[in-house]
Amino acid sequence: MSVKVRFAPSPTGLLHVGNIRTALVNWLFCRQQGGTFLLRFDDTDAARSTEDFAEAIERDLTWLGLTWDETARQSDRIDRYAQAVEKLKADGRLYPCYETGQELELKRKVQLGQGKPPVYDRAGLSLTEGEIATYEAEGRAPHWRFKLNLPARVEWHDLVKGPLSFDLEALSDPILIRGDGSFLYTLPSVVDDIDFEITHIMRGEDHATNSAVQTQLFEALGGRTPAYAHFSLLTGAGGEGLSKRLGTASIQSYRDEDGLEAMSINSLLARLGSSEPIEPMTSLEPLIAGFYFAKYSRSTAKFDPKDLEVLNAKILHQTDFSAVADRLDGVDEALWNICRNNINKLNDINMFRTIVKGPLEPKIEDQSFLDQALGLLPAAPWDETTWKSWTTVVKEQTGAKGRSLFMPLRQAITGMDHGPEMGALLPLIDPEIVKARLQGKVA
């Protein structure tokens, strides 16, 4: 069987790490199996879906390297959903209901007060023609519910959670069509999964109950139910939820504002909540090869942005210049190799570019000591031995040693208290710039 999966975001907001985790596990499994990856925009919510958000989703996925093989938009398939509706009506599986939201809420409160589960009482099935005419005369438009075949227990072997079982009698008949005629998520999603021949559905565990209901809808529409994998939910470090529409932990903000590497996000999210160690990866290939459902835990996985920062630094420390050259301005391979172990984010390299090329304001605490050191500065050209030979002579002439010797020189030349080895960095700086900084000048 050829594997086909889908990532189905609604273009109503920015993707956050929870969405990307879903996309990533689908993509890794799909690529491991040599399957087809479908990007489907669930854009039936015309009021909130925008092309800007759709483009942002594609931009985020492209940046992360999560390429797709096919694209679909639900807004292009409304006629197909209407066909499915007619079939369900003809088969007696879709029925109109006229309760208002307030009336439904009142029913729920009464049921809860009686110690009963708040399950819809199927009053819509027993409406007479006269009652329907009365509701229509009042201006009420029906919403439409899918009639579950009861009694029924739906069971499957979940690829993450193992055996799952749901008693459908404990669930309400789901609403498939709103009073305004628009579709809720369930019907278009199942129709698409059938038509596009989706073989595996991988998503958060909060959809497990929906999966049980959708199993009957697959059957009612003559489709085959895909294999299910429900991953534990992803929360913030403190257990709080992640909001797409508020932009919390959005991929766009991590890329454009925080300047993180795509592979730091992939490295963390691919293994978060699994038994595999979280390690800095510079490509997706090891994550593809190491993907196994059995390694994922049933426990809630917590996302901590601090983990991203640590991974980001480690990835940069092992990244070759060729992989970032087109993103750097005024930084050559020599400077990158010397300074990459001292940066946490790519734009940190700009500090070291300024150190080499200027202008930079030196940090001066003892000008008399620096004047002595300037007089002992070796003549150009410089190499990796210059720093040691120079500081050895300065030590002999001034008596300074240890931090008292090295720190004033580093501060004057780089304006910093820390950084890469000065023996490697010094030859990259123009000797005239070094001389000017030792005199306390901006250079």
**How far, in Å, CA of 114 to CA of 214, rounded?**
29
* CATH, residue 426: 1.10.10.350
Do 210 and 265 have their domain in common? yes
Do 68 and 108 have their domain in common? no
Do 196 and 306 have their domain in common? yes
Do 213 and 252 have their domain in common? yes
Q: Is residue 346 part of a domain?
A: no
- What are the pLDDT digits (tens) for 27-52? 999 999 999 999 999 999 888 999 99
Question: Per the structure block, which two tokens stand in for 86?
Answer: 């007619």
Q: What residues contact 25, with CB distance under 8 A and at least 6 apart?
A: 202, 229, 231, 270, 291
**How far, in Å, CA of 225 to CA of 215, rounded?**
6
- pLDDT of the chain, 443 residues: tens digit per residue: 799 999 999 999 999 998 999 999 999 999 999 999 999 999 998 889 999 999 999 999 999 999 999 999 999 999 999 999 999 999 999 999 999 999 999 999 999 999 999 999 999 999 999 999 999 999 999 999 999 999 999 999 999 999 999 999 999 999 999 999 999 999 999 999 999 999 999 999 999 999 999 999 999 999 999 999 999 988 878 877 765 544 467 999 999 999 999 999 999 999 999 999 999 999 999 999 999 999 999 888 888 889 999 999 999 999 999 999 999 999 999 999 999 999 999 999 999 999 999 999 999 999 999 999 999 999 999 999 999 999 999 999 999 999 999 999 999 999 999 999 999 999 999 999 999 999 999 99
Give the model's pLDDT for residue 242: 63
Do 126 and 203 have their domain in common? no
Prediction pTM value: 0.91
**How far, in Å, CA of 291 to CA of 273, rounded?**
13
Q: Provide the number of structural domains found in the chain.
A: 3
The three state secondary structure string of 304-371 is CHHHHHHHHHHHHHCCCHHHHHHHCCCCCHHHHHHHHHHCCCHHHHHHHHHHHHCCCCCCCCCHHHHH
Phi, psi torsion values for 7, nearest 5 degrees: -115, 125
Domain final residue pick, 290, 318, 346: 318
* CATH, residue 115: 3.90.800.10
Q: Is residue 383 part of a domain?
A: yes
Q: What is the DSSP string of 353-420?
A: HHHHH-------S-HHHHHHHHHTPPPSS--TTHHHHHHHHHHHHH---THHHHHHHHHHHHSSS--S
Whole-angstrom CA distances from 269 to 18, 21, 56, 303 are 9, 5, 20, 8
Give the model's pLDDT for residue 245: 47
Do 24 and 47 have their domain in common? yes
Do 80 and 206 have their domain in common? yes
**How far, in Å, CA of 18 to CA of 282, rounded?**
21
Question: Per the structure block, which two tokens stand in for 128?
Answer: 């007479």
Q: Token match 């208002």: residue?
A: 100
Do 262 and 158 have their domain in common? yes
Q: Kindly report the length of the chain.
A: 443
Domain range holding 112? Answer: 91-152+165-177
Q: Specify the pairing of strand 94-97 against strand 162-167.
A: unpaired
